[in-house]
Chains A and B, each alone.
Chain A
Amino acid sequence: MTVEVRLPTVLRPHAGGATTVSAEGTTIGEVIESLVGRYPGMSGQVLTPEGSLHRFVNVYVNDDDVRYLDQLDTKVADGDTVSILPAVAGG
């Protein structure tokens, strides 16, 4: 599966300034693995050393937060859009 990944401002320098990149995988975990494999600078930023999602990172598949789906096991389909966003204060 090929998905489009939208990167937040803070991660763009690790991908040569790109706002969106494509990545491969059948789950969110695999997509992030493929992303980090290609842009090693992102590794400590998105995942913890234990391999779970960083506390201040939200990942969405087509606008749905994966923490409330199947976390890193959330399935993706060809053409899905995956967005990575920092957790910030609202309100």
Chain B
Amino acid sequence: MAYHRSVLDLIGNTPLVEVSELSPNPEARILLKLEGQNPGGSVKDRVALAMVEEAEKEGRLEKGATLIEPSSGNTGIGLAMVARVKGYKLNVVLPASVSPERRQALEVWGASIIESPGPEGSNGAVRLAERLHAENPEWVFLYQYANRANPRAHYEGTGPEIWRDCPEVTHFVAGLGTSGTLVGAGRFLKERNPKIQVWAVEPPAGENVDGLRSLDDGYIPPIFTELGGPEILDRKTIANPRDSIVWTRKLADVGIFAGISTGAAMAGAIRCAESVPSGVIVAISADGGWKYLSTGAWTDEIDVVVERAKRIIYF
């Protein structure tokens, strides 16, 4: 009998798939690491499990404890799954501007949703979670933006898996949210081969955050600054919503059904491929397309979809 004891054992060890047929440069290969294959559906399963196990080790999580976490979706979803399996309760502070499927997925595993104002984006969710935690100090706040178990999950998982499956890698491309993926896997890969270039791709997030009163209200994840993010990144580019949707669709043309942030990462990988004579580019596909069906990303008229995408958080 071959089987796994727990769904949590299925986290990690995701496959790499070649998508070089989409590369503009015949000498630059592109491979996608499909994190949507994780049981909770995204790369954040790794982070959720690592943060919970770390808190258990430190004795911060008693039986039946309640967690609170600000998340635009995937970390909350991963935590909801892990918390269900391990018997914890979870409150997720979710910006109102996420796709309805993210909210539904949280409900699957019984998380409670606390809504933060959509126009304030993830910044608003972080602020509200901090306030709620101050009011309810018995809740355990894992705080993915400052929790070193987040990048460690990638330093010990994502990075080594890439190195094991593709030691030829010359460029590593990933979306930038909390920076956990880039800081953790990027550091691991550079320690193995300092020539590997690390490219971050971000959505034009600050464009839509109208709740910001002044630039002093800005936010940089503590893990990024504390763990040498600026030294690990070699390049950081914005992928606009149109390019992100266009590449999400092109991926479907080669059979890959991925989320919109994968389209953004792919747009970054394409820029990378255009700028190098040759190379092997490994890009992260953070999640599958399921949670974005309601945006019409694959089926509706592109201009309409782009306008919709500008109003939701897809990272």
Contacts and interface: CB of A to CB of B under 8 A. Distances in A.
A71 to B, nearest CB: 11
B100 interface: no
Given A8-B206, A85-B204, A86-B206, A91 B215 contact: no
Given A63-B237, A65-B237, A90 B215 contact: no
Interface stretch (A21-29, A30-38, A54-62, A72-80): A54-62
Contacts of A91: 71-72, 74-75, 122, 144-145, 177-178, 180, 221, 315
A88 B123 contact: yes
Contacts of A45: 214-215
Contacts of B123: 88-89
B15 interface: no
Contacts of A88: 121-123, 205-206, 209, 212, 218-219
Interface string B112-137: 00000000011101100000000000
A55 B218 contact: yes
Contacts of B215: 8, 10-11, 45-46, 54, 56-57, 86
Contacts, number: 103
Interface residues of B, number: 44
A57 B206 CA distance: 10
A64 interface: yes
B212 A90 contact: no
A87 B220 contact: yes
B274 interface: no
A35 B311 CA distance: 29
B236 interface: yes
A68 B200 CA distance: 10
A86 B234 CA distance: 20
B209 A86 contact: yes
Given A10-B214, A90-B177, 15 more contacts: A8-B207, A9-B212, A64-B235, A64-B236, A67-B236, A68-B235, A83-B204, A85-B238, A86-B212, A88-B122, A88-B212, A89-B126, A89-B145, A90-B202, A90-B205
Closest 4 CB pairs of A and B: A56-B218, A91-B177, A90-B177, A85-B206
